[in-house]
Structure 1
Amino acid sequence: MAATVTQDDSLVEYGFRRVIITITAVLCALLEIVDTTIVNVALNEMRGSLGATLTDIAWVITAYAIANVIIIPMTSWLSQQFGRRNYFAVSIVVFTVASFLCGNATNIWELVLFRFIQGMGGGALLVTAQTIITESYPAEKRGMAQAIYGMGVIVGPTLGPPLGGYIVDNYSWPYIFYINVPLGIIATLLTLIYVKSPKYGEKMKANQVDWWGIIFLASFIGSLQYVLEHGQQDDWFANGTIVTLSVVTVFGLLAFIWREMTYKFPIVNLSVLKDSNLRIGTIMCFILGFGLYGSTFIVPIYTQSVLGWTALETGLLLIPSSLTTAFMMPIIGKLIQRGIPQTYMVALGFLIFFFFTFWMHNIITNDTGAEHMFWPLILRGMGLGLLFVPITTLSLSTLQGKSIGEGAAFTGMMRQLGGSFGIAIITTFISRFGQQHRVDLISHLNGASFEVQQRVHQYQLKFMGNGFSASEALAKAHQLLDLNVTRQATILSYMDVFMYLGILFLLCIPFILLVRRGKGKVDMSEAMH
């Protein structure tokens, strides 16, 4: 979260300067958010260009997300040490340079490394941009500032997929990173010229920094992510590397918890989790991230790898869902202000998301069209709209003072972690379920069956009609039959993933009953973190 400072009226801007600062802050927030989703529709092209597997290519998304999670808790200290303006400008430069390097990557692991660096730069942009834009407005206009910032945050995920699809279809995937370069240069110059830094109190000394906490956090998150990504293809615990990193994950997590609970200046204040609403809320945020980023990942992969859609077609498919979520946001805000319990909205959101996954489970086939997925995706947008703000505000509803900011950082971090883990687990399950369904389908294929023989004969005649000899046509007929079996097994695996994702959300509803309502109102600007 952004550094906590005493309000400094000298930071309030008026007229042209405030307009420029607002544009700069929203631009930087958009750059960070768009780059979270813009790569989704380009994954297939990256796979082909870099010779990567589906499991490997998922790291392009997860490396960025993990870097975000690691850097966000450090933002407060870094801002105080270097000044907010300087830190913000350096973050933009790191993000911009890493974007250029991503476009020039020659193999998948170069791209993953540069995406991680890009995430380290981008992690500070979102929360710092919000603080800058808020403090540039006088107190009576803070609501307007949050509305402007909020709309930028909502538009970002909507722009990502179609923009990425257009670039991939008309140019090539590196340009989804190159477009950040001129925008980053402009944002850096505007930041250095117009943005001011608040006057902080006493700076934290270098020997007070929770370096061990940072190391333990990075070690257990990174190790767990590797285990989730590569466990399936490396035969899980039969592989020495998987076993070693699993041990690192467990001990890294335990060491991180011990360090944060005992160190005087923890990088993450775990004591705030004594609040029961926040404990439940962080779990809900984790699952929200799992469903939000997981469904955003699985739909483009399905439409492009199974249905053969272009990246642009896939991006356009996701726009109505994102716009529905954006439309729901102000409505949900008004309902919360009128006293409608967040627990009801969250429970309804989980239920709607279950219906979305159940609907998708029933409609996906070899030839599902956009018209079949339109309304399920609209339902998804409604569900996410009912979940995003209510879960965050509900999590913070019983906190007070600086604990609100600490809790907000926790919910944001857990939402991002949920997305990282969701993508990794979904990728693993698609592979595992696909293999199992393929074995099951092949076991039911009887070569002596009249239906099977007739299908092979039809394929053979088709290939013979294209000029192949009888023996060549028969071999190709068997290959085509095998391909169709694999395709059907893949579709069945997607159906399973949608169903299990929905069940996960359905099981969350009883936990909502454990949440007690806060006596006071939550500052919506804090909740937006």
Structure 2
Amino acid sequence: MELQQESLVEYGFRRVIITITAVLCALLEIVDTTIVNVALNDMRGNLGGTLSEVSWVITAYAIGNVIVVPMTSWLSQQFGRRNYFAASIIIFTVSSFLCGQADNIWELVFFRLIQGFGGGALLVTAQTLITESYPPEKRGIAQAIYGLGVIVGPTLGPPLGGYIVDNYSWPYIFYINIPLGVIAALLTVEFVRSPKFANKKSASEIDYWGIVLLAIAVGSLQYVLERGQEDDWFNDEIIVILSISTVLGFFFFIWRELTYPNPIVNLRVLKNGNLSVGTVLSFILGFGLYGSTFVIPLYTQATLGWTATQSGMLMVPAAIVTAMMMPIVGQLLQRGAKQQYLVAIGMVAFFIYSYWGYLILTPDTGKDAFFNMLIVRGIGLGLLFVPITTLALSTLKGKEIGEGAAFTGMMRQLGGSFGVAVITTFIARQNMLHRNDLVSKLDINNPAVQQRVEGLQRNFLGKGMTPEVALKSGYKILDLTVSKQALVMSYMDVFLYLGLMFLVCVPFVLWTKSGKSKVDTSAVH
């Protein structure tokens, strides 16, 4: 089996083509996660849906993704990796076209779910393909190249989406996938090879119950995370029912997979120490990556009044820094740098970025203030992604690589969903707390407050308002100022706690005994 594993290593032109194909597919999948965020308003106007209906365009894609990711390794073995990868690209491309053609909101949601099924497979299979195409001593470089797509993708989505929506119309954010998907499918059929140890199961051996339980558990969890805040969490009957089905689904799924002879997800592979540490770190990375990609455009657009394109472009320099960091980190790993040291430095860098954000946020922070802070974020992410992935997959062999990649991929996606859900809820709660606190300090008998209101009233009187209307308008402006300040303080809290979460992880990372990358990579031989 190990010989089979070694025989998948490619050289020269073939390896370049496979790498380009895999990165292209990873990019397609991830850009599509965030590209629609800036187009939701246009979709709503065009297709006549409510805000909560149109947010299903994001939720459906995420649910499709998370359900299919853990199954990819099994499906690859069942149908052959090349066939499965090519089929996933075709499903993704065709459903992209159908998304652009949708006539109403629920049609679009359905096609986004199908697109998510195709897309989830692209991400993990791309990672496995790249890992297997490079010899073990070059795994760090391989993960660096793959990481480009994963880290740069979420950042590219909003500015690209903003540009397309501002200059064309929303269906083009889906049509842009079609030529790229066709090229990727043709390259896959021509150049990708399937491992020989693909052991097909007969129809009677297939773990149908495992598939059903996994879909129920993960689908329900994703729904709860995406919709919880909007639907008021456990005061909503559907959220309560789906929370129960999440817990029961996971319980029976784990029991089934550990007792069934041909499980659809091989949970036993998590006994590998490196993989279990890497899986937890992938969750935290997803939380930080998607959480901060979500909160910065939200702050710049809602509080500072920027356009979608402006807030998207803000993230680009940091993405370029991350892209430049990737090959450097790959080289460091190849030269024997310990993975856990690089991860620890990356987590400290992420803490510095978050604390910096906490310090500079105001109701009118200038664009220049973000630049250096986001560069630090770029460096931090560059130091985190490659070492975490290499650490997770470094001592796996053969088909275990695909199974391991599926776990880290799923945990990164779920970490992102948790991040966005937790941050959304946290901002809403903190906003109310800060607002109540600020209002309690606004004593109407306080001379400073009276002076402020009188100044505002005089301002409005100068614009020709009656004294009564001018006074009301003065209070309204004061109320808006308080609301804005409370919101900014909530964002400050998000940055502070996100940074502390990464800082707390540093000692745990340094305690892991799996940092000897020389030994790790030789173990794969």
Contact 1:393 1:522 survives alignment (8 Å): no
* Alignment pair present for 1:451 and 2:448: yes
3-state SS, counterpart of residue 301 of structure 1: helix
Q: Indicate the residue corresponding to 1:209 in structure 2.
A: 206
Q: Indicate the residue corresponding to 2:115 in structure 1.
A: 118
TM-score normalised by L of structure 2: 0.86
Q: Indicate the residue corresponding to 1:184 in structure 2.
A: 181
Q: Indicate the residue corresponding to 2:240 in structure 1.
A: 243
Aligned-pair CA distance for 1:491: 1.2
Contact 2:147 2:385 survives alignment (8 Å): no
Contact 1:52 1:108 survives alignment (8 Å): no
Change in 2 beyond 3 A, CA 1:484/1:20: same
* Alignment pair present for 1:368 and 2:377: no
* Alignment pair present for 1:341 and 2:338: yes
- Whole-angstrom distance in 1 between the partners of 2:192 and 2:260: 34
Q: 2:496 aligns with which of 494, 499, 518?
A: 499
- Whole-angstrom distance in 2 between the partners of 1:22 and 1:374: 31
Change in 2 beyond 3 A, CA 1:489/1:56: farther
- Whole-angstrom distance in 1 between the partners of 2:134 and 2:274: 31
Q: Indicate the residue corresponding to 1:439 in structure 2.
A: 436
- Whole-angstrom distance in 2 between the partners of 1:190 and 1:399: 27
3-state SS, counterpart of residue 39 of structure 1: helix
- Whole-angstrom distance in 2 between the partners of 1:10 and 1:342: 25
For 1:409, the aligned partner's letter is A
3-state SS, counterpart of residue 38 of structure 1: helix
Q: Indicate the residue corresponding to 2:485 in structure 1.
A: 488
3-state SS, counterpart of residue 261 of structure 2: coil
Contact 2:9 2:135 survives alignment (8 Å): no
Aligned-pair CA distance for 1:290: 0.3
3-state SS, counterpart of residue 315 of structure 2: helix
* Alignment pair present for 1:292 and 2:289: yes
Change in 2 beyond 3 A, CA 1:110/1:367: farther
* Alignment pair present for 1:352 and 2:343: no
For 1:352, the aligned partner's letter is A
* Alignment pair present for 1:70 and 2:67: yes
3-state SS, counterpart of residue 511 of structure 2: coil
- Whole-angstrom distance in 1 between the partners of 2:509 and 2:141: 31
Aligned-pair CA distance for 1:365: 1.2
Q: Indicate the residue corresponding to 1:163 in structure 2.
A: 160
Q: Indicate the residue corresponding to 1:90 in structure 2.
A: 87
Contact 2:144 2:330 survives alignment (8 Å): no
- Whole-angstrom distance in 1 between the partners of 2:228 and 2:140: 47
- Whole-angstrom distance in 1 between the partners of 2:273 and 2:193: 38
Cα offsets for 1:461-503 (capped at 9, x unmatched): 4444445444444443333333222222211111111111111
* Alignment pair present for 1:324 and 2:321: yes
Q: Indicate the residue corresponding to 1:511 in structure 2.
A: 508
Cα offsets for 1:205-241 (capped at 9, x unmatched): 2222222222222222222233334444444334433
Cα offsets for 1:135-181 (capped at 9, x unmatched): 88999999998776665556544533332222233234432223223
Q: 2:375 aligns with which of 362, 378, 381?
A: 378
- Whole-angstrom distance in 2 between the partners of 1:332 and 1:140: 14
Between 29-38 and 99-108, report the one with greater CA deviation: 99-108
- In structure 2, stretches of 5+ residues that fail to align are none
Identity of aligned residues (%): 64
Q: 1:394 aligns with which of 391, 394, 418?
A: 391
- In structure 1, stretches of 5+ residues that fail to align are none
Change in 2 beyond 3 A, CA 1:44/1:332: farther
- Whole-angstrom distance in 2 between the partners of 1:91 and 1:498: 37
Aligned residues: CA RMSD: 3.6
- Whole-angstrom distance in 2 between the partners of 1:56 and 1:408: 33
Aligned-pair CA distance for 1:288: 0.8
- Whole-angstrom distance in 2 between the partners of 1:306 and 1:155: 25
Between 235-244 and 145-154, report the one with greater CA deviation: 145-154
Aligned-pair CA distance for 1:506: 1.4
| Count of residue pairs brought into register by the alignment | 521
TM-score normalised by L of structure 1: 0.85
Contact 2:125 2:402 survives alignment (8 Å): no
- Whole-angstrom distance in 2 between the partners of 1:341 and 1:299: 32
Contact 1:62 1:420 survives alignment (8 Å): no
Contact 1:44 1:301 survives alignment (8 Å): no
Change in 2 beyond 3 A, CA 1:371/1:45: farther
